[in-house]
Amino acid sequence: MYKYDQYDQRIVDARVDEFRDQVQRRLSGEMTEDQFKPLRLMNGLYLQLHAYMLRVAVPYGTLDSRQMRMLGHIARKYDRGYGHFTTRQNIQYNWIKLEDAPDILAELATVEMHAIQTSGNCIRNISSDQFAGAAADEVADPRVWAELLRQWSTFHPEFTYLPRKFKICVIAADEDRAAMRLHDIGIQLVERDGVLGGRVFVGGGMGRTPMIAPEIRDFVTADDLLSYVEACLRVYNRYGRRDNIYKARIKILLHEIGADEYRRQVEEEFVAVKALGVDPPKAEFDRIAAMFAPPAFDAAASAGVDRSDPDFAVWLDQNVSAHKQPGYAVVTISLKPIGGIPGDASADQIDVMATLAERYSFDELRVTHAQNIVLPHVAQADLYTVWQALTEAGLAEANLDLISDIIACPGLDYCSLANARSIPLAQKIASRFADANRQRDLGELKLKISGCINACGHHHAGHIGVLGVDRKGTENYQLLLGGSGAEDVSLGKITGPGFDEDGVVDAIERVTDRYLAERAEGERFLDTYRRIGMEPFKEAIYG
Amino acid sequence: MKLLTGNDLPTGDVVWWTGSGWSRHVADAVDVGTQGEAILQVEEGARRVNVAYVIDATPTPDGPRPAHIKDRIRAVGPTVRFDPASAPDAAVPQVI
C-alpha cells in the first residue's frame, strides 16, 4: 500500500490548517455562504437535507486497518455511529457539524486520509478494481497507475476548475469489476508483445445523459500513459462547455465533435505534452510501484476448505473469490443485510472489518463501487474463522451479486438533489426476495437504484435499474432493464410508465418471474434479456 | 400557509422560524405570510440561520405539514432507521 512521503503529508496538513481558518471565518461572519460554499466543497463538505455531509476520499478504494479504524472513530465521535460507503469507493458521513469539520480532517490527516477533491469540478478520486493485486487475470496491479494519477491530479493547477467533475478509472484485467467504461476516462492496462500499456476509453458516464466510453487509443505504452491522459484532459479543458452544466461533461464534447475529431486533437496535444516531461522518472515510478509489491504470502499455504458447515459453504460459494496466490482467497463482505441500508456500516462493524484485515488480510481492505468491502488476501485456512467473526458482527450476508446486493444512492432520505427515496425501496425489494434459495436460483442479478437523474446509484448499469423521479410532487419509479457496468457494458432501457414504491417492487417480481420462465440453461438474467429482448418483460409488467 | 426554514450554521441542523427565533421542531413553525424573504435577509445576515427559504405548508392539528415530500423529510428526518446494526425489522418513522 502507498505510504505518504513528506510532500503528501505536508500538503494534507496545510489543507487542514487552511480549511480551519476558512471555517472560522465563515462562523465569524467574515465570509458569506456564497463565498464559503466552493471552499467547503473543495474539502468534501456538502450541506445536505438534514445536516452537513462529509465525503472522505478512499484512493482507489484501498485502506489499511489503521485508516479503517479511523473511519469508525469518526463515525462514533462526530456522526451518529455509522458511515455510508459510496459507489465511488469513498465513505460519507451524514450528520457532520460544520464546527467539527476541521477537527475531523485533522484526525484523518494523522492516518494519511483527507477529503480533498471529493467534490467540485476537478479530477475526483481515482477508482479501480477492488481485486487489484489479488486477481489472477490482471496483467499488473492497476493501483500503481491509480496512485500515479492521484499524485498528478492532486491540486493540479490546470485541472482544478474544469468545465465539470472528472472521473478516472484504471483496471488491469479483462473482467471489469469497476465499471471502467462508464467513467470520463477509463484505462485498461494490457500487455502487447511483452510491453505494458493501456487501452484508453474517453467520454463514458451515467447521469442524465448516459454514454459508454469509446476507445480513443488502443494502446499507449505505460511510459507515456500520464502524458496521454494529460492530453485528453487538455482538449476537454479547452473545448468542454462551461455555459451549460448539463452539457459540460466530456462525454458531451465527444458526442458533439465525434470520437475521431477528439482523438485527432488529443494525438496532436499528446506530442506537445510529451515534450514537457510529465511522465515520472523511473526511480519515482519504481518507488511508488514498490509500495504495491505483493504481501509476503505463505508459499506453503494449504489449499482447500472444510465445507461441512452448510451456512459457511453457502457464503463460501457466494462471497469468496479465487486469488492468484495458491492457498489464498478474496473475501467480499456484503454491506447489504436483508432490510438494511445498502453501504452503511456501524462504527463497531467498521472496527470488526479493520481487525479482520489486520489479522487475516495483510492489513488491507478495499471499498467496492457496489458498496461492499473486500478483504483481498485471506488464507483459505482462515476463511472459517473470518466467516464466524463476520457472522457475529452481522456482516456475513451471502448475497454478493444477487438481487439483494443492491446498489442504492442515499436518495431523498439524505440528499438535497434527490427526487425520490432509494433506501426504503432497496429495503422493500431485498425483503421481498429475502429467501436465500430464491435469490440463488435467480443467480447473478445486479439491481441498482438512483433517487434522481444524476445516477449516483448507477441505475443505467443495472441488469435491473430503478430511477426515482418527482411526478407532480409524488415519488415515482421508472424501471430499466438490460444495463451492465461490467466488460459486457450496456445501458438499460426504460420499460414504460413508472410506478409507486409498492408498484415497482411488484413489477420487479414480474420481471424475475418471466426470466425464470424464459431462461435457457446457464443463462443469467442479463443473458436472457439480451436473447429475448424487452417485449416479453413489458408484457409481464404491463399485461 | 408559508413557513421559513433553513439550517443552523455551526451544526447544520434543520431549523424552523417560530416568530421570534429558530426551533428544531416543525411543530413550532409559524406562518410567515409575505414576510419570509424579509425575515430571511435579517436572520441570514446575523448568521442565525444558513441557506434559508420559504416553503408552502398546510396547518393540521399536529402542526404545520410541509407541502413537498422533501420538506416533510427535512422536518422529521430520514424515513429509514439510523442504526444499521439493529434488527432489520426495526420500526421506521411513518411520516410521509
CATH topology of domain A127-290: Sulfite Reductase Hemoprotein; domain 1 (3.30.413)
Q: Which of A457-466, B40-49, B77-86 has the lowest mean pLDDT?
A: B77-86
Report the SS3 class of residue A67.
helix
Cβ within 8 Å, pair B74-A49: yes
Interface test with A, best of B5, B8, B9 (most A CBs within 10 A): B9
Cβ within 8 Å, pair B11-A49: no
Task: Indicate whether B86 pLDDT > 50.
Answer: no
Give the pLDDT score at B94: 46
pLDDT band at B84, cuts 50/70/90?
Answer: very low
Query: What is the CATH number that goes with domain A310-392?
Result: 3.30.70.3340
Residue A74, Cβ density class (10 Å: 0-12 exposed, 13-18 middle, ≥19 buried): buried
**Cα distance between residue B8 and residue B3, in whole Å:** 16
Cβ within 8 Å, pair B83-A51: no
Cβ within 8 Å, pair A412-B77: no
What are A299-343's pLDDT values in tens digits? 999 988 999 999 999 999 999 999 999 999 999 999 999 999 999
List chain A domain ranges.
Answer: 6-109, 127-290, 310-392, 407-542
pTM passes above 0.90? yes
Q: Which residues of A touch B51 (CB under 8 A)?
A: 33, 47
List chain B domain ranges.
Answer: 2-76
pLDDT band at B80, cuts 50/70/90?
Answer: confident
Give the pLDDT score at A523: 98
Cβ within 8 Å, pair B44-A33: yes
- Chain A: closest CA distance from residue B13 (Å): 5
Pairing relationship of beta strands A82-85 and A344-346 according to DSSP bridges: antiparallel
Please indicate if any CB of chain A lies within 8 Å of the CB of B91: no
Residues of chain A under the 50 pLDDT cut: none
Q: Which residues pair with A484 in a beta bridge?
A: A490
Closest in A26, A50, A475 to B74, CB measured: A50
Closest chain A residue to the Cα of B75, Cα to Cα: A50
**Cα distance between residue A345 and residue A322, in whole Å:** 25
Q: Which CATH architecture has domain A407-542?
A: 2-Layer Sandwich (3.30)
> Class for domain A6-109, per CATH?
alpha beta
Please report, rounded to a whole number, the percentage of residues in chain B having pLDDT higher than 70. 83
**Cα distance between residue A29 and residue A145, in whole Å:** 43
CA angle, corner A347, sides to A374 and A168, nearest 5? 45
Interface test with A, best of B13, B51, B70 (most A CBs within 10 A): B70
Beta strands across the sheet bearing A127-128: A127-128, A168-171, A185-192, A195-202, A215-221
Grid coordinates belonging to A131: 481485486
Cβ within 8 Å, pair A344-B84: yes
Cβ within 8 Å, pair B50-A82: no
Domains A127-290 and A407-542 share a fold: yes
**Cα distance between residue A125 and residue A168, in whole Å:** 8
Closest chain B residue to the Cα of A423, Cα to Cα: B80
Could you tell me which residues of chain A have a Cβ less than 8 Å from any Cβ in chain B? 26-27, 29, 33, 47, 49-52, 80-82, 96-99, 337-341, 344-346, 348-349, 394, 412-414, 416, 418, 421, 423-424, 427, 431, 473-475
ipTM for this prediction: 0.91
Chain B residues 41-60 with a CB less than 8 Å from chain A: 44, 47, 50-51
**Cα distance between residue A17 and residue A106, in whole Å:** 8
Q: What is the mean pLDDT of chain B?
A: 87
Cβ within 8 Å, pair B12-A339: no
Task: Indicate whether B95 pLDDT > 70.
Answer: no
Give the pLDDT score at B82: 52
The amino acid that residue A445 corresponds to is L
Q: Which residues pair with B82 in a beta bridge?
A: none
CA atoms within 13 A on the CB side of A278: 23
Closest chain A residue to the Cα of B66, Cα to Cα: A473
Pairing relationship of beta strands A185-192 and A168-171 according to DSSP bridges: parallel
8 Å CB contact between A442 and A516: yes
Of A446, A511, A527, which Cα lies nearest the Cα of A87?
Answer: A446
